[in-house]
Amino acid sequence: MQIGINVPNFGPGTDPGTLRSWAQTVEGLGFDLLMVSDHVAVTPDVAEQYPAPFYEPFTTLAWLAGITSRVRLGTTVLIVPYRHPLLIARMAANLNQLSGGRLVLGVASGWARQEFEALGVPFQQRGKLTDDHLRAVRSAWEDDEDYRSGRIPIWVGGNSDAGLRRAVRLGEAWHPLRSTLPWLREAADRMKAVADEQGRPVPALTPRIALRLTESPITDPGRLAGEGTIDQVIDDLRQLRLLGADTVVLDPFNGDPRETCHPKTAWRALATVAACWDQEHPHSPTEH
């Protein structure tokens, strides 16, 4: 099982120097994947959770590709209806080539109604637009000789039943975001049932979970996977491995934009996880 990190590409503490340090830290600690988020118009509903500056993901990942050499690079998640599908296809294919085949394209249909309005995209049609755009992206790639030499994995995000079904229809992996372990176990069973119902392969499971280390154990039954003592977090990773997770993405951003001004707190948590996981799994998260 590989381990990735969601890096905040937004907020008052984020600038090119901080993003560079994040990338060097994630790769230096031996993690397998670095992912960033997507917003185009920082409308009030977006700014409440992810305030400016907000660095556009394709641009940011292209720059980080030149700073790193090994770690994979991805989006968690690209909001598919925000861009023309041919633009997504071209930017993703170029980024994959420029990075030496390191791109993972995590996608979803979006939630920010005001941002949809600012971009002139119908909010109520976002599910259909996502499906149509993803088919068009795949079609564009199939017609592109350069793309066929380097396949880009598509991870379909979304915790809803619609997102799960979209993953079975259109994705190589299902990428649910920040949930509990019991919910993930039940959802994994549901995904297999949907795949069987549609006569399709079961997508890989690639969840993004929280990362919030505490001194004392969290006993609340609603505890998110990745929250608690380091022993709880490592056990969560063990359980997800047993569940068949292909990759787990740790998300050290816990909702307060001021966290972005103090990235060393997150880096210390990442270093703790890397050291403890490495004790159990030598040469993991990656051989280094």
DSSP 185-213: HHHHHHHHHHHHHHT-PPPEE--EEE-EE
Which pTM was predicted?
0.96
Task: Please determine, for residue 16, whether its predicted confidence score (pLDDT) is greater than 90.
Answer: yes
State the pLDDT confidence band at 149, using cuts at 50, 70 and 90: low
Question: Which residue type does 138 have?
Answer: R
Question: Which residue type does 97 have?
Answer: Q
d(CA 276, CA 233): 10
**Res 288: pLDDT:** 44
Task: Please determine, for residue 287, whether its predicted confidence score (pLDDT) is greater than 60.
Answer: no
**Res 285: pLDDT:** 52
Report how far apart, in Å, the C-alpha atoms of 94 and of each of 99, 107, 179 are: 9, 17, 33
In 3-state terms the chain splits into helix, strand, coil percentages (rounded to 5) of: 50, 15, 35
- Residue ranges of domains in the chain, CATH in brackets: 2-280 (3.20.20.30)
- Average pLDDT on 240-262 reads 97
Beta strands in the chain (DSSP E): 2-6, 33-36, 72-79, 103-108, 154-157, 173-175, 204-205, 208-210, 212-213, 227-228, 247-251
**Res 171: pLDDT:** 77
Residues 70-103: tens digit of each pLDDT: 999 999 999 999 999 999 999 999 999 999 999 9
Distance of CA 143 to the CA centre of its chain: 27
**Res 283: pLDDT:** 61
d(CA 131, CA 124): 13
Task: Please determine, for residue 131, whether its predicted confidence score (pLDDT) is greater than 50.
Answer: yes
Structure token pair of residue 220: 């609340």
- Average pLDDT on 142-162 reads 86
